[in-house]
Amino acid sequence: MASASTNGFDPRKHVGVNAERMSHVSSTDFPGHYPGEDHSWNLAKFQEKLSVNIERLSNRSIDLDLVGVDASIANAFRRILIAEVPTVAIERAYVWDNTSVIVDEVLAHRIGLVPLNVDPALLDLKDPQNDQATDRNTLVFRLRAACERRKPAPKDTTDPRKLYTNSEVLSSQMEWVPQGEQATVMATNPPVPTNSNIVLAKLRPGQEIDMELHAVKSVGKDHAKFCPVATASYRLLPEIILNPQKPVPPHLAEKFQKCFSPGVIRIHPRTKEVSVDKQKARFESMSREVYRHPEFEGCVQLARVRDHFLFNIESEGFYPPERLLLEAILVMRTKTVALRRAAEALLNDTRGGTGDVEMAEG
């Protein structure tokens, strides 16, 4: 690989994307790696480099750039989003009657995966030592549906929705039954499924479902149904570094352009000089197609920016997508406080024991 002085590749800033392997994967910005340089952590420098930019926002997803952090921090946020941001989901299903073709266990599992539009802050976590359901930790829903033939149904149709009532049992038929003070506390935002058109079961005349459902607050590491996101992923920002010492031949400009995602490479209409569109480079797939052609050897170096993370987060529940990262940060701050208190307790321990400190879960 050419040095930074010849083609702009900087091992401190970039992760190299080569034809057969990745290079310079590990970070080097830590004390002692470079002689005579101080890379100890500094709050002022961290604040100067840190930035969060929202690139796209919709009702259910967000694309954002997290810049200036180590991969361990970015990955911690991803893991917290998946496993430790609390939500509310159906935990217990009491089946009073089910004559549908779906067995009780499968039906209960399907209902448990229905995301609920409930603010987790309004409920307490259940005490693992005491499984007692109260109005502070449990929501109750009732699901009743019986299929019957429609009396004035058209004779020339085969559509079950026109022939029968309740031919499909939908998530919208989950009726919230307030307990204790819940009717007052949740009056402005009654608990309902986030999607009212999820098909839970299909019925035919004579079949019936009658269930009582209990929803509780928990986290994704307990069960996937408590995961607040559909996906939470990141990738490093792609960077295409053209070598000014060896430009792409004009007669090969279009072939060079086709080696990358659409819009990433621009061609000057008169001189046929190629350049990189910095705005669209983020959409480059990094297929490394350009490395397959020997005529482009030395013309370009593919890389990824080491501390620039492109996050894609899809919300599937109560939280709007722009709030999810903030919730993950809150969980991380709670963990940091617990770790700090444990460290301080170890430093202040003068009892002459083993020095072991129990850290609270959370």
The tens digit of pLDDT for each residue in 83-133 reads 999 999 999 999 999 999 999 999 999 999 999 999 999 999 988 778 788
Q: What is the pLDDT of residue 351?
A: 57
- The domain limits of the chain are 14-28+43-82+231-313, 87-225
Same fold, 14-28+43-82+231-313 and 87-225: no
Q: Residue 43 is which amino acid?
A: L
- Say if domain 14-28+43-82+231-313 classifies as CATH 3.30.1360.10: yes
> Is the pLDDT higher at 169 or at 360?
169
Determine contact, residues 191/117, Cβ cutoff 8 Å.
Answer: yes
The backbone region for 56, taken as left when phi is positive above 0, alpha when psi lies in -120 to 50, beta otherwise, is beta
2: confidence class by pLDDT, cuts 50, 70, 90: very low
Q: 87-225: which CATH architecture?
A: Beta Complex (2.170)
pTM: predicted TM-score of the whole model, two decimal places: 0.86
pLDDT at 5 over 50: no
pLDDT at 1 over 80: no
DSSP string computed for 119-171: -GGGSPPPBTTB----TTT-EEEEEEEE-EE-TT--TT---HHHHEESSEEEG
pLDDT at 42 over 90: no
